[in-house]
Amino acid sequence: MLTPLLGMLLFVGPATAAASIVTVVLMLNNPPVSLSRLCAVLVLVFGSSAAVVYCYGRLSAILGGPFPEPCEDRNTSGAELVGTVDEDWPLRSACVYSDGATVEHISMSINVLVCLLAGLAVVLACAGAVLHRRTPSAPEGSLGNS
């Protein structure tokens, strides 16, 4: 059940990121730009990008990944395979051998990229909320077209 959901998110994520980027460009071409709204759209860009990278890493681990074999019976030093470790967060998939060695299937760069993009999305969401609270609200009854 997890694989179809990850596949769907991997399909929808780039479309959301692309639409958000187009929205940012249109917002910047038509001033004045509300910084809180710009932050909200950038949250979509970074959040959907983080979801895409996460789903790519998770699916690569589930489906065998871009490596030849998920786990070999013995590593190069001759130690036997003890088991595998799969963690959803932080994103990790590794073969564990009896000598304590591990062979990571999901590179650390994917995990760092996911954390960086998700962190940027959270920071922008907080900044957007603060900016929205500081922005004076329009008087009741006005449509904002004055």
Query: 105: which 2 tokens?
Result: 């299937």
pLDDT value for 143: 53
pLDDT in tens, 52-106: 999 888 887 777 665 545 778 888 888 898 988 888 877 888 888 999 888 887 7
Query: Looking at beta carbons, which pairs linking 32-36 to residues 24 or more positions away fall under 8 Å?
Result: 34/135, 35/128, 35/131, 36/128, 36/129, 36/131, 36/132, 36/135
**Average pLDDT of every residue of the chain:** 84
Domain ranges in the chain are 2-134
pTM metric for this prediction: 0.77
Question: Does pLDDT of 5 surpass 70?
Answer: yes
108: burial class by Cβ within 10 Å (0-12, 13-18, 19+)? exposed
Give the model's confidence band at 50: pLDDT under 50 very low, under 70 low, under 90 confident, else very high: very high
- Tell me the CA distances in angstroms from 6 to 2, 23, 62, one per residue in order: 6, 25, 10
